[in-house]
Structure formats: C-alpha cells, structure tokens
Structure 1
Amino acid sequence: MTAAASAPPPDTEVDLDVDVLIVGAGISGLGAAYYLQRDLPDTTYAVVEARDALGGTWDLHRYPGVRSDSDLFTFGYEFKPWRGDAIATAGSILGYLREVADENRIHDRIRFRTRIAGASWSSAEARWTVETENTATGERGRIRCAWLFAATGYYRYDQGYVPEFAGRAEFEAAGGTVVHPQHWPEDLDHTGRRVVVIGSGATAVTLVPALAGEAGHVTMLQRSPTYVVPLPAKDRIANALHKVLPEGRAHALIRAKNVWTQRVTWRLCQRYPRAARRVIRRLNARSLPPGYPVDEHFNPRYDPWDQRLCVVPNGDLFKALSAGTASVVTDTVDTFTATGVRLTSGKHLDADVVVTATGLNLQAFGGIDLTVDGAPVDLTGTVAFKGMMLTGVPNFAYAIGYTNSSWTLKVGLLCEHFVRLLAHMDAHGHDTCAPVLPPGLATRPLLDFEAGYVLRALDRLPKQGPGFPWLTSRDYPSDVKLLRHGPVDDPHLRFTSSAQRPAKAAV
C-alpha cells in the first residue's frame, strides 16, 4: 500500500452516501455498474475515477498502434455484442466502453478526477468512510458506503516500470529522447528517426510495426525472447455468423467458440509444452525470411503460457522484420551513450529515440490504504476468497481478470456473483460479511504467473489457497460453476446483522 495521505479535517462533511462505491471507470468498473443496476435497481451506487475520462487502460495508453491482445468477442462484455475486428485498436475499444456508459446512463454516476486517499471500515456502523481528493483542485471530500468495490486493475497508472540505465543522462543531454509507452508524449515525432524499443512483451511487439512505417529504422532490443503468435485481425467465422444469425445469437456462439479455443489452447500448451513450442516456432519461421535466426530471437527459455503469448494481428511484426524497416537484437544494455545504446556484447545501437517498453508496476487495489476498526490492513496477511474478497476485510470486493485468457471473462462472472451476494444479504437482513480463514490453510502467491511485473510484486500482495474457494482460478468453466451457479453463502463466509436490518423479499 502507498503511504496514506493526510486525513481531511474532522468537520469534513460526507457529501455522498451509497450502498456501493466502485473505484475505477475502466472495463471492470463499468461492468460492475451495469450488473448492479440491471439486477439490483434499488441499490444505490457511484463510481469514482482518478482520471478525467472513463476507459481505464484504453484511455490511458496513447502510444502508436495500441490495441488489444485478446479477441474482443470475449474481451468485450457478454451483455453487449462486439461488432468490429477480433483484434481491435484502443480507439475502437474506448468507443465501445463509452457506448456502454451512455446506453446505461452510467456516465451520470461517475465522479471524475476523484482519487481515494484511504478507506476506513467501522463494524459498529457497518460502513466504509472513504477519504477522497480532487486531482485537479486538491479539494478533500468524504464518501460513505456499505460496500467498496475495487475495479482498479492491478498496475499503477501513474508510473511504469523503468530499470536504472547507466548513461541515460548523457544520451538525453545530447538530444536523445527516452519515453515510456505508458506516458507517450503527444508531440513526439519519430519520422525518419532511429528508434530502439527496449522490451519484448505485448507493448513492444505492438510498437515496433506501428513505428516502422515512418521511422528511419526500429530495433526491438530484447533481453530474452517472447512467444509471438501471428493471428488474423478478422475472425472469418464470426463475420459469417453475423451475416446469418440475429446479433445476440451470433454473439453468444462466437463467444462460446472463442472461450473454448482459448481454454483448449492454454491446456494443450500446459500439457504438451514441447509440441506447443514446435508449433509456434513453425508459425514464426513461415512468417520470416528464409535463413532468419528464429531460435536466437523467438525461442524463449520458458514454456508457452508460463507468460502470456504475444499476439501480432496479421503478422504485422514479422512483415516489418521481413521488409527491413525493423530488426530484433537479443542482448542486454551495458550503458546509454551520447548517440544510442551500447550492449553487453560490445555492439552499439545508434538511436535518436529510446522507448522503454520494460513493463508495469503492479499495485493492488489502486494503492488504497484500508483500515478495519482503526487497524491498518496488511495485504500480505490476507487470503483471497473466490478471487474477489479478502479475509478479515468486511464488505470489500475486487475484480481482477484472467492472465491466461480475456480479462473480462472473469470480471463478468465476479460482478454477477457480487450482485447475487448483495441480494442474499438483503434477503436475510445481513449488513456485513467477510471471509474467515480456516486454521492451518496452506497458502501461496496470489498470481500463478511468471511475468516480471508480477514476480516483482508478489511479496506485497495477498495470498491464495490450494483449492476452492481460496483458489484464484484461471479456468473459465470452473468459475462459471462456482461464481454463476454456485451458492453465495459458504461455511467460511461470516454474515452479521449489526444494524438488525429487517429481511427483504428474496431477489
């Protein structure tokens, strides 16, 4: 957690009191808002967003070529059909999210430029008191809510990960430009310039072909290779189904097809990693010129899906490499120089612009400082329950999507389960619930994922257990069974009625 901001004056009035406060107006927050007002129309809610626009990731990132790395038929919502290409640009995704907000009047519930400095739970009142700050004016405020729902994603929006590079100051003093994709300058002109992109993940493989069309030359400098898979940007089966079936039916079939494809691909890669490696290598070799050193630049040390596969629509990265407008170098940085980057091997890459596509900084729940009855919450001492709540933290829920599939598949199920949980509490007169850790439960890191940004942060995150309901599942059918069809009550979920609320009719 980040250091807590100073508390507002004691006489600061509560300017909003709602049943649910959603933190974040990205794809998770908008989804939570939709399910709340669809299934629990009498439940009051608001959304707070630190930035001045909705969209989260898709509004933040402005680097050239930014796009999805999951198909939009599953990355989009189950309740709103996607009508564009399977792999879509950020602008298209942002337009889709704005439609969701406008069509459902969610926009009216969003408080922009509102950052949460801290949140305090009172068991006696069965409510959270949330301290807010206007990011434009610094004005402090206070919101009260029965439930706090963190739809913040899992990385820091204000800061990307950049290693310390020796000589960087010398390079910049000589007129060179260093930029992180998360903070791409609007006025950066790369036309005719020599560009070095440091990194090999989804951002790097997106940037390289997008820049190669106008730059003098683009070099992707990678410390080690990543699995890169060419896929068509358009889904022919999806397009055919849209022509012959009603939109809703077509969307359901396309979504089911793609869910099945994702799951089977992941399971085959996990079960037969050597065969998967050979298939991916064959796809790469077919997309590159004869004699290209595939094993040097596209043969990772790890097995497929130990980290996410990088998707390149229509093989655009390979086309840029084949055309000679881009190249890949597998090496490590020794130091920046006045004219570029010197590598550990002794080779020098001349550069006018260096892009540090070196990853994200993980941040749990937007960095909100949580306290329960005056005691600070130590996230490392909590355990995730059903992948959406934390032991010892009442009336707090969060949404973290899949790392091995489309993010939104998981978020949709979590939101459905969340509203069912609220309905259950209303029906039984409960106003508080919190998971209780069973004695002796074995725990392990929250995320089973070997990406660098995850490994750097595991010691600051909650834990997970060995099985349901303590497992942070990565399997969609299992989560459908647990979250959509399974009961919301559980022997390890403690419900209380501190306010002695009368029970409502079951929903």
Structure 2
Amino acid sequence: MEHVDVLIVGAGLSGVGAAAQVRERLPGKSVVVLESRDAKGGTWDLFRYPGVRSDSDMFTFGYTWRPWDSDIALADGTLIREYINTVAREYDVDRLIRYRHRVQSAAWDSEAGHWTVVAAVGDPAAGETVTLTAQFLWSCAGYYKYDEGFQPTWPGMADFQGQIVHPQHWPEGLDYSGKQVVVIGSGATAVTLVPSMSAGEGAAAHVTMLQRTPSYVINRPRHDPVARLLTRMRMPRRVIYRVARWTNIANSIGFYKFSMRWPARSKAFLRKQAVRQLPPDFDVDRHFAPPYDPWDQRLCFVPNGDLFRSLRNGEASIVTDTIESFTPTGLRLASGTELDADLIVSATGFQMQVPLGGIEMVVDGERVDYASHLAYKALMLSEVPNFFFTLGYTNASWTLKADLVIDYVCRLLAHLDQAGRRVASPVPDPSVERRPFMPLSSGYVQRSAHLLPGEGAKAPWRLEQNWYVDQKVVRRAPIDDGVLQFT
C-alpha cells in the first residue's frame, strides 16, 4: 500500500497552492494530490458560462508568493485557469496530481498514526478503487458540490418548451443569439451572466434578470488604477504587485468594517452608487435595495459597471418578483406578469458540502459528525488528528485565507519534525461557547448550516473574517498554544 506524507484532496486554486508550497518549503515531504475531475483548476475549469470571472481583485485572489502579473483586477475564468496552470507547471505540481480519483472515505487510526484513504478511480460505475495511507490529510475541495448545483423545482417546468440551463453545467456551444433569455437569480453568477449575454457578438435579443430578492451591486474598474499608475511610472513588477495588493486588502477590509459598524451609511453609499449609473426613472429601491444589511450576504462587484450599462442601454432589464409557475412559453409571476423566454438560466446557487468533499470520515472507528465539532482557526477540526481544510473568506478574497492556511500547515509540519512528534489534534475546553461557523444569510449557507462545524466565541475557535486579525492568530501565533495536543 502506498504511503504519502501529505495527501491533498482537490487540484483547484487551493490544492495547487498547497502542493506548491509544501514542495517548496518542506522538500523532504512526499505529496500526492487527488482530483475527482479530469482537469485541474477547480471552479475555474468547471464553470464555463458566459463572462465567468472572479468577484475578488486578482491582487489578493492570486497567491502571495506568486504575483498576479497583470493590471486586470476582475479577471475572467480563462485567465484565472491559465494562472493556476502556470503555477502548477512552475512549481512542478503537475506530476503530483492524479486525476479521476474521487475520495470515498478516510479513516484515522491512532495506533498506526495515519489516515487510510480510499478513492474511486476512473468511471465510478467500474468499481475500481485505490487505497493510500497518509500522515496528513488536507481537504482543498472547497465548500460546494461540483457535480450538483442547487436547482429549485417550480410548477410547470416540464411544460416549458424552451431550454433550462444551470450555469454550473453550461452546455458547450449553447447558442442564445437573438433569443429571449430569463436569468433567475441575483447573486454573483446572475450579475455576470446578464451583461455578458446581452451585449456583443452573438448576444441575446433581450435578457431579463428575475430576482426574488435584490443584492447589493457595486461598480469596480476592471483594470486596477493603482497598478496602472505604477506601471506607467515604470515601477518594478514586484513593487506594483505589493502596493496594489496592500491597497486592495485595505480597501476590502476597510469597507467591510465600515459596513459592520455603520450599516445605514453603507446602504446609502451603495444606493448612491447605483443611482448614478441607472436611468432617472429606474426604481432603484425595488431592484437594488435588499432587505438585509451589506455583507449579511456577499456584495456583487461588476467590472466597469457592465450590468448597469446593459440596463441603461435597454439590452437587459430587472424584474423583482416571485415565480408562480413555468408556462410553455416562459414564466408566470406572482404579480400576474408573464415573461416570455426561449432560454431560462437558473442561476440559483450551489449546494454546499462538508469540509472533506462530502466524503465519509472516521476517527478510531467512530464516524465524524462535522456539525458536532468546532473549527480550530477555521482550518482544523476539534479532536480530528492531522486533518486540515481550506476555506476562503466570505467577505474578502478566497486566497487571502488560503495562503494563511498554507503558511500555518507548513509551520505546523515543520514544528512536529523539530519536536519529534507525528500527530497534532486541537482539543477544546468544554466551556467554549458554540456559534455558527458561517454567519451569512445566503441561501446556500442556510440550506447546509446543519452540516457544518461550529465555531467558538473567541480565538482560536472563532473565525473573525478579518485578514489583519488572522495575521496574528494564524500566521504569527505560536504553534504550541496549549490547545493543540501533540503525540
């Protein structure tokens, strides 16, 4: 049976970064990456819908240790996929990845001091499996199911004579030119799809964004102004990246803290930004004023105001209503309005999964119930030895947190080697107050909250959603903190 020091699950942005840095910083460790799909890139290889792009700036969405070499702030999926491929090639990660390996189970044996991991290989119907043992198991599989988006059911869907598509499974070569399109949803995917499908070559005749509840939408330049200015000044690339990165970190965290402290002012600011970019008679309060505070759900950033431009030009429109039923020719809404459609895009979100890709985990013969455990520094689970997971921030760039997790894991592994220990497990004090792990009102969180671990009221059990705080708690705090138990 093959044994590996560090077994990483997932070859997306997090998994490639984790493998690259373990190889770079701990060259004596053997590393294997298991990827369920037949390509790396994760989200950025899976999602192929029109206009797919990051909703975080690339100066913080790129790795700290491998700068994003462009002034494009909100990059499209192709550029992000190329970036991940470049990093995998430069850091020799490609040879570590085993594709079409879907992890099925992971069992920790305290006596043996390792994980036993079973993965299905190739076509699941073939029943072929492989078993590996690993001293450390690291889930970089993200928090949603790649093979299943969230698809509500409405009356009459079977009667609709057009086509229904979920963005997570966008058909290759789908032709929507000249068609009436309705996009159901108001999140990041919907606000990306609407301007992308309504303008340019092959555009739809008209695109309607049908939302039950509005989102906060804010304009952002596609090209970073700081990076552009420094480029014109002929500053070195490393200086450009560092300054642009720190500027973006300060801006994103600063606006989040401002919104938390003064939600009414934040609402007024966002409304004012929307009013400036919409026609004078547009009902801003109906279509762009959510009934919740900013950052109760993620904000939607639109590059160069493309969504607002499509609305101004009449290429797209927004309807805020609920669906009564599908009809053969479109949708009937609760207000009695009927929307004609040739194509309906259900941008209704995704399905969350537990931290290890939704697989079964066992510790010393007992099944791990994730909801009964606490998240330690939002990267380990209480009383689950030698297991790490990477989940990014919900209020800032995913990779800001992913890089902190990478740094912590590498420090922990080095600490164990220096101390002559092999096992680390966080053990909470019984008095730790339990709270929800991801306190967001977003549908995808609320649907799966019962599956997720909890967090505590204070560090190291609390996720602050603040990169500056985590610099201290995750990056600089000593590994041996009295909470981690070593054997």
TM-score, with normalisation over the residues of structure 1?
A: 0.93
1:189 to 175, 179, 200: 175
Q: Distance in 2 between matches of 1:273 and 1:254?
A: 27
What is the aligned-residue identity percentage? Answer: 48
Corresponding position of 1:179: 165
Find the residue that maps to 2:256 and give its secondary structure. Answer: helix
Q: Report how far residue 245 of structure 1 moved.
A: 2.1
1:163 to 152, 165, 174: 152
1:385 aligns to 2:380 (yes or no)? no
Corresponding position of 1:114: 101
The residue type equivalent to 1:284 in the other structure is A
Corresponding position of 1:277: 267
Corresponding position of 2:254: 264
Corresponding position of 1:147: 136
Structure 1 residues 362-392: Cα deviation after superposition (integer angstroms, max 9, x where no partner): 1012112100111111111110111111112
Q: Report how far residue 162 of structure 1 moved.
A: 1.1
Find the residue that maps to 1:225 and give its secondary structure. Answer: coil
Structure 1 residues 324-382: Cα deviation after superposition (integer angstroms, max 9, x where no partner): 11100000000000000000011000011111100111101211210011111111111
Q: Distance in 2 between matches of 1:394 and 1:236?
A: 45
1:82 to 68, 77, 82: 68
Determine if contact 1:162/1:356 at 8 Å carries over to the other structure: yes
The residue type equivalent to 1:397 in the other structure is F
CA root-mean-square deviation: 1.0
Structure 1 residues 163-200: Cα deviation after superposition (integer angstroms, max 9, x where no partner): 111100011xx3x1001000000132101111110000
1:49 aligns to 2:35 (yes or no)? yes
Q: Report how far residue 483 of structure 1 moved.
A: 1.6
Corresponding position of 2:312: 322
Corresponding position of 1:130: 117
1:360 to 350, 363, 383: 350
Structure 1 residues 284-339: Cα deviation after superposition (integer angstroms, max 9, x where no partner): 11111111111110111011111111011011111111111110000000000000
Farther off after superposition, 236-245 or 106-115: 236-245
Determine if contact 1:387/1:473 at 8 Å carries over to the other structure: no
Determine if contact 2:12/2:42 at 8 Å carries over to the other structure: yes
Structure 1 residues 211-240: Cα deviation after superposition (integer angstroms, max 9, x where no partner): 112101110000011100011101121122
The residue type equivalent to 1:114 in the other structure is H
Determine if contact 1:384/1:464 at 8 Å carries over to the other structure: yes
Q: Report how far residue 53 of structure 1 moved.
A: 0.6
Q: Distance in 2 between matches of 1:370 and 1:480?
A: 30
Corresponding position of 1:227: 216
Q: Report how far residue 481 of structure 1 moved.
A: 1.1
Q: Report how far residue 138 of structure 1 moved.
A: 4.0
Corresponding position of 1:242: 231
Determine if contact 2:258/2:266 at 8 Å carries over to the other structure: yes
Q: Distance in 2 between matches of 1:457 and 1:314?
A: 34
Q: Report how far residue 143 of structure 1 moved.
A: 1.0
Q: Distance in 1 between matches of 2:442 and 2:364?
A: 36
Structure 1 residues 77-120: Cα deviation after superposition (integer angstroms, max 9, x where no partner): 11111123001000000000000000011011000110001011
Q: Distance in 1 between matches of 2:468 and 2:221?
A: 26
Find the residue that maps to 1:156 and give its secondary structure. Answer: strand
Corresponding position of 1:505: none
Counterparts of 1:194-209 in structure 2, within 5 Å, are 194-209=180-195
Corresponding position of 1:11: none
1:464 aligns to 2:455 (yes or no)? yes
Q: Which runs of 5+ in 1 are unaligned?
A: 1-13, 497-507
TM-score, with normalisation over the residues of structure 2?
A: 0.97
The total of aligned residue pairs comes to 479
Determine if contact 2:105/2:117 at 8 Å carries over to the other structure: yes
Corresponding position of 1:500: none
Q: Distance in 1 between matches of 2:321 and 2:474?
A: 45
Determine if contact 1:241/1:250 at 8 Å carries over to the other structure: yes
1:475 aligns to 2:462 (yes or no)? no
Corresponding position of 1:303: 293
Q: Distance in 1 between matches of 2:368 and 2:43?
A: 27
Q: Distance in 2 between matches of 1:92 and 1:330?
A: 33
Q: Report how far residue 440 of structure 1 moved.
A: 2.3
Farther off after superposition, 97-106 or 184-193: 184-193
Q: Distance in 2 between matches of 1:34 and 1:490?
A: 27
Find the residue that maps to 2:4 and give its secondary structure. Answer: strand
Find the residue that maps to 1:274 and give its secondary structure. Answer: helix
Q: Distance in 2 between matches of 1:345 and 1:450?
A: 25
Find the residue that maps to 1:258 and give its secondary structure. Answer: helix
Determine if contact 2:69/2:237 at 8 Å carries over to the other structure: no
Farther off after superposition, 84-93 or 249-258: 249-258
Corresponding position of 1:94: 81
1:486 to 457, 477, 484: 477
Q: Distance in 2 between matches of 1:247 and 1:34?
A: 22
Corresponding position of 2:21: 35
Q: Which runs of 5+ in 2 are unaligned?
A: none
Q: Distance in 1 between matches of 2:155 and 2:137?
A: 43
Corresponding position of 2:433: 442
The residue type equivalent to 1:215 in the other structure is A
1:210 aligns to 2:199 (yes or no)? no
1:72 to 36, 47, 58: 58
Q: Report how far residue 282 of structure 1 moved.
A: 1.0
Q: Distance in 2 between matches of 1:385 and 1:485?
A: 15
2:245 to 242, 255, 267: 255
Q: Distance in 2 between matches of 1:133 and 1:249?
A: 45
Determine if contact 2:374/2:455 at 8 Å carries over to the other structure: yes
Determine if contact 2:20/2:92 at 8 Å carries over to the other structure: no
Corresponding position of 1:294: 284
1:431 to 411, 422, 428: 422
